[in-house]
Amino acid sequence: GMGWALLGAGLLLALYTLLRHGLRPAVLPPRSPAALRGRTAIVTGGSGGIGAATALELARGGARVVLAARNALRGEAAARRIRTETGNPEVRFMQLDLASLRSVRAFASAFLRQEPHLHLLINNAGVSAGGTTEDGFSLSFQVNHLGHFLLTQLLLERLQSCAPSRVVIVASRAHCAGRLHPDTLGRPPPGPLSAFQDYCDSKLANMLHARELATRLQGTQVTCYAVHPG
């Protein structure tokens, strides 16, 4: 009856909109090849997905880019691919596993030893999965928030000494469904949707981190942003 006809019309409209607008690549203004020369960026989760696309654009703008990722094979391959595609030789992989706070500390100290500058920290890596880390926190909450929080703290002094600089936290509108309880923070939430709830909670923590960091860094020329991809 009427309901099915409306549903059919709605689906057709959705499909039309998707084909008309959704599958066209966004047209970005051409970046001048030297716009970011002399700037150093870290992109976590830079070996694939949004992270790799971000790293590619930064490299295209002439930045020195560090792909911080867990898997060495994928990380080295992504760095090679970006160097080839952009002609920018200053793209390197460094190993970082956010599910291990020990790895976060090791990465930060290696970075501070090897790289004199940091202008752009992009906390992009994210997971949505159940499980617990070696540190005893739920996986999503540690990878998406706690590991990045520690990483940001460890690199903050370098960001300040290289200012103007920025921290970009890839959050999500899923933060709207987040609930943070201080006494159970970082433990898997109860219930059948535990992994999804944990993801939402981690994204709310991302938002609060970005806001608080921005407040604390006022006047330092280190700016802080939370973004919802897409």
Q: Which residues are designated catalytic?
A: 199
- Rounded alpha-carbon distances, angstroms, from residue 6 to 10, 14, 16, 17: 6, 12, 15, 16
Dihedral sign for Cα 132, 46, 157, 182, please. Answer: negative
H helix intervals, the chain: 2-17, 49-60, 72-86, 101-114, 139-141, 147-161, 194-216
CA 133 to CA 206: how far, in whole Å? 19
Integer Cα distance of 72 and 88 in angstroms: 20
Question: Do residues 117 and 83 lie in contact, with contact meaning Cβ atoms separated by under 8 Å?
Answer: no
Question: SS3 of 28, please?
Answer: coil
Q: What is the Cα–Cα distance from 184 to 203, expressed in whole angstroms?
A: 16
Burial of 187 (0-12, 13-18, 19+ CB in 10 A): middle
Return d(Cα 216, Cα 222) in angstroms, integer: 10
